[in-house]
A and B are shown apart, each in its own frame.
Chain A
């Protein structure tokens, strides 16, 4: 079946450091890929998405590129802020119909001043 694997957390960075959170996937077809963010005490928010190979999703300084050859969708940000502290989930979904979202285990990011 389909699955998403994320790097283990927690990740602790100093403010303005470069962030990479690795994500790889296993899929039988050609899914769309997503990053969701969960701030402390809040629900899931869509951070960015890419719907086909080589697409780059971006939002709030975060970027991720859909790499079909390496089945990866790594999340990056050039300069993190304390307000980026949250749990980040990589996920996949097949477009069309009523397809479910398959999530990774989540990576907790803590940014210290």
Chain B
């Protein structure tokens, strides 16, 4: 069964550094998403992406964040200058119809 994959599974970075989280959505899907889950809290929407542009973003998704689909298969989330509070699990999701399929997540730890 097709699945969304994410790399790396765990990323440790120092405050102020840039990180790129990578996702490979299901191949024929058209809509792409990033969510995050701070430890012990609920899953929060960050951004949706369709037709090579952002469709919607939350208030969390400020200028430090950006998304890109550079080559038609990968979907990336970049955090330009990480803060301690960016430590979280980041989930990628993709959708064709109305059901979103989630990846296993990348745990980002900012020290």
Contacts and interface: CB of A to CB of B under 8 A. Distances in A.
B28 interface: no
Nearest to B104: A43
Nearest to A44: B102
B107 to A, nearest CB: 10
Secondary structure call for the A interface: loop
Contact of B43 (A32, A49, A89, A99): A89
A98 B102 CA distance: 15
Interface string A96-113: 111111111110000000
Contact of B99 (A44, A49, A106): A49
B42 A103 contact: yes
Question: For chain B, which range describes its interface: under 10, 10 to 19, 20 to 34, or 35 or more residues?
Answer: 20 to 34
Secondary structure call for the B interface: strand
A93 B95 CA distance: 12
B105 A43 contact: yes
B42 A106 contact: yes
A95 interface: yes
19 contacts: A43-B102, A43-B103, A43-B105, A44-B91, A44-B105, A46-B99, A46-B102, A95-B98, A96-B98, A97-B55, A98-B55, A98-B95, A99-B98, A100-B45, A100-B56, A100-B58, A101-B100, A103-B35, A104-B42
Given A42-B104, A101-B93, 8 more contacts: A46-B99, A51-B98, A89-B42, A101-B35, A101-B43, A103-B35, A103-B43, A106-B42
